[in-house]
Structure 1
Amino acid sequence: MAGVLYRFLADVVMVLHAAFLLFFVGGGFLAWRWPKVIWAHLAVGVWSITIVLLDFDCPLSGVEKYFLRKGGEEPYSTGYINHYLDGTIWPEGGTPTAEKVGFALLVISYIGFFVLRRRSRAKAKRPATTSP
């Protein structure tokens, strides 16, 4: 019975990890509509850049692997992205390219965010015009 619970918890962490990655890719664009989201996205972006640059395992992968072991399953030996996405979402070995695309989307979303913020501030500073 405990094994089923641990496997369920591993699945929950796997889904949360997927949501985290989706937020990394798209959260900056969400901030275009909901500007306060940018702060959470900035934290996710810094965290993701740190993991890639320093080349260490994401703690979410470690938690999932822990639950898999406790549930009697053999955890995967690679990271989450290599295990679930490489060769599935993009071609085998394409993770470095996918990372570059993800970080490019982050930069594009931030540029768009700041352009939109600047426009909305400029619009707010303009005096209201009255029609005759």
Structure 2
Amino acid sequence: MADTYRWLADGVLLVHLAVVVFVLGGLAAVFVGNLRHWPWVNGLAFRLVHLMAIGVVVVQAWLGALCPLTVLESWLREQAGEAPYAASFVEHWVGRVLFYDAPTWVFTLAYTVFAALVVLTWWRYPPRPAGHRRR
């Protein structure tokens, strides 16, 4: 049974990583895509989902709440007999990948500034409804 929980935890980790890549890559795609005239980067659905994703991250950070994916993965790892995370997903993996340790408020500030950039792209590169062509 421990192997099942471990596989499930790894699956949640991959989903979490995909969300992080979407949030970070989404903003980069908006900037690069507008320079290269890629119409999909201003699609309303893409932009709304992206805005909601970073919005959830910022609200959780300001409330001091852990991401539900972090909580689920940690619980699954405990069920598998492994040690759970001592911090948030991003803090844990940034610390492991970059060997960087920072107080929680630093991550909250970073998320907030990033979200502000996302909001600014709505002004600079407004989203367009499906089927709308750039003039």
Q: State TM-score, norm by structure 1.
A: 0.71
Letter in 2 for 1:5: T
* Residue equivalent to 2:66: 57
Deviations 1:74-127 (A, max 9, x none): 212222122221253362227644554444344334423432338xx9x63xxx
How many equivalent residue pairs? 120
Alignment counterpart, residue 43 of structure 1, candidates 52, 67, 71? 52
Query: Which sits farther off after the overlay, 64-73 or 101-110?
Result: 101-110
Q: CA deviation at 1:54?
A: 0.5
Q: CA deviation at 1:13?
A: 0.8
Separation (CA, whole Å) in 2 of partners of 1:110 and 1:74: 37
Separation (CA, whole Å) in 2 of partners of 1:4 and 1:87: 23
- Calculate percent identity across the aligned residue pairs: 20
Letter in 2 for 1:21: V
- Map 1:31-110 → 2, pairs under 5 A: 31=30, 33-35=41-43, 36-86=45-95, 88-89=97-98, 91-93=100-102, 96-97=105-106, 99-110=108-119
Q: Does residue 28 of the first structure (1) align with residue 27 of the second (2)?
A: yes
Separation (CA, whole Å) in 1 of partners of 2:78 and 2:99: 28
Separation (CA, whole Å) in 2 of partners of 1:101 and 1:78: 16
Letter in 2 for 1:17: H
Separation (CA, whole Å) in 1 of partners of 2:66 and 2:7: 22
* Residue equivalent to 1:112: 121
Q: State TM-score, norm by structure 2.
A: 0.70
Residue segments in structure 1 that go unaligned for 5+ positions in a row: 125-132
Larger Rg: 1
Q: Retained in 2: the 8 A contact 1:24–1:106?
A: no
* Residue equivalent to 2:38: none
Letter in 2 for 1:79: S
Separation (CA, whole Å) in 2 of partners of 1:99 and 1:49: 7
Query: RMSD value over aligned CA atoms?
Result: 2.7
Letter in 1 for 2:84: P
Q: Retained in 1: the 8 A contact 2:26–2:50?
A: yes
Q: Retained in 1: the 8 A contact 2:62–2:108?
A: no
